[in-house]
Amino acid sequence: MILDDLAQVAEDLRRKGLDVVHDFLYSARGCVEGLDVGDDFFPRWELSLAENAEALARADFAAIKSRRCAGWSIVPPVRSGPATP
pTM, whole model, 2 decimals? 0.86
> Quick one: CA torsion of 66, 4, 27, 13, rounded to 10 degrees?
-50
Look at residue 80 in the predicted model and tell me its pLDDT.
60
Residue 75 to residue 39: CA distance in whole angstroms: 18
Share of the chain above pLDDT 70, in %: 89
**Domain ranges, ordered by start, for the chain:** 6-66
Sign of CA dihedral 50, 54, 55, 57: positive
- Residues 32-60 pLDDT 10s: 999 999 999 999 999 999 999 999 999 99
The DSSP letter of residue 74 is S
Helices (H) and strands (E) counted in the chain, each on its own, are 4, 3
